[in-house]
């Protein structure tokens, strides 16, 4: 009888242990814990918005600049050329309502883009545009760990190398262009998606 009581006690203890291991963690919503959030997919594109502050007093009639992209990015070009596809380079919000042409080229070996804006009619040439967001470039990412600092880092800590920016105003009296380079401060913002 003594052995059967011990055996029954052991069975009860084993039963309690089994119940205890089955409790908690996997229950319904009443436990107060929520299921883990799934990780968002890694970014495959980066939209680089190039902006300029123009402190020169005269509106810009056009601008051209070059910038380096970090390793791990590519830019889609028109088939058989180095010209950036029109779907990947668009005018920024500061050019809204103006008649301008945006253009750009991409050198894959150098990870370098050359971008520009030109007026397409006399009114846009004369009125020009002030600073603000000028261009948006969509890049493909092959390195999903890139951040905005990688884009400025590729340019020596600057949005655009200062030696590779050329902006000009149109002088309506002399019918010539006026260099505004020393009055331009470029910046960039990167959106990963």
For the chain, what are the domain ranges?
A: 45-192
Q: Where are the alpha helices (DSSP H) in the chain?
A: 2-21, 122-127, 148-153
CATH architecture of 45-192: Sandwich (2.60)
Query: pTM of this prediction?
Result: 0.76
pLDDT at 5: 47
- The whole-angstrom separation of Cα 142 and Cα 44 is 7
Q: What is the pLDDT along the chain (193 residues), one digit of tens a residue?
A: 555 444 444 444 444 444 445 555 554 445 556 667 776 667 899 999 999 999 988 999 999 999 999 999 999 999 999 999 999 999 999 998 889 999 999 999 999 999 999 999 888 888 899 889 999 999 999 998 898 889 988 888 888 887 889 999 999 899 999 999 999 999 999 999 8
DSSP assignment, residue 99?
-
Q: Which residues of 69-99 are buried (b: 16+ CB within 10 A; e: fewer)?
A: bbebbebebeeeeeebeeebbebbebbeebe
- The whole-angstrom separation of Cα 140 and Cα 144 is 10
CB 47 within 8 A of CB 138: yes
- The whole-angstrom separation of Cα 111 and Cα 67 is 9
- The whole-angstrom separation of Cα 85 and Cα 71 is 20
Residue written as tokens 């059967």? 4
Residue 191 to residues 37, 43, 49, 123, 146, Cα–Cα distance (Å): 22, 10, 8, 33, 11
**Which token pair is 69?**
């992209």
Residue 3 to residues 7, 8, 16, 131, 140, Cα–Cα distance (Å): 6, 8, 20, 92, 75
- The whole-angstrom separation of Cα 133 and Cα 120 is 19
Residue written as tokens 């002399």? 174
- The whole-angstrom separation of Cα 90 and Cα 134 is 9
């Amino acid at each position: 009888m003594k052995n059967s009581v011990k055996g029954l006690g052991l069975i009860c203890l084993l039963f309690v242990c089994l119940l205890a291991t089955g409790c908690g963690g996997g229950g319904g919503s009443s436990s107060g814990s929520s299921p883990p959030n799934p990780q968002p997919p890694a970014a495959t594109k980066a939209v680089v918005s190039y902006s300029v502050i123009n402190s020169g007093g005269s509106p810009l009639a056009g601008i051209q600049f070059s910038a380096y992209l970090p390793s791990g990015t590519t830019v889609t070009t028109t088939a058989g050329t180095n010209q950036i596809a029109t779907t990947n380079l668009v005018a920024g919000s500061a050019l809204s309502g103006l008649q301008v042409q945006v253009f750009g080229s991409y050198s894959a070996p150098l990870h370098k883009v050359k971008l520009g804006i030109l007026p397409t009619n006399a009114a846009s040439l004369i009125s020009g545009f002030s600073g603000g967001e000028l261009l948006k470039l969509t890049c493909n990412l092959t390195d999903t760990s890139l951040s905005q600092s990688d884009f400025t880092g590729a340019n020596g800590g600057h949005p655009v190398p200062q030696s590779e920016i050329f902006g000009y105003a149109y002088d309506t009296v002399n019918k010539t262009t006026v260099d505004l380079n020393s009055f331009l401060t470029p910046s960039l913002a990167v959106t990963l998606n």
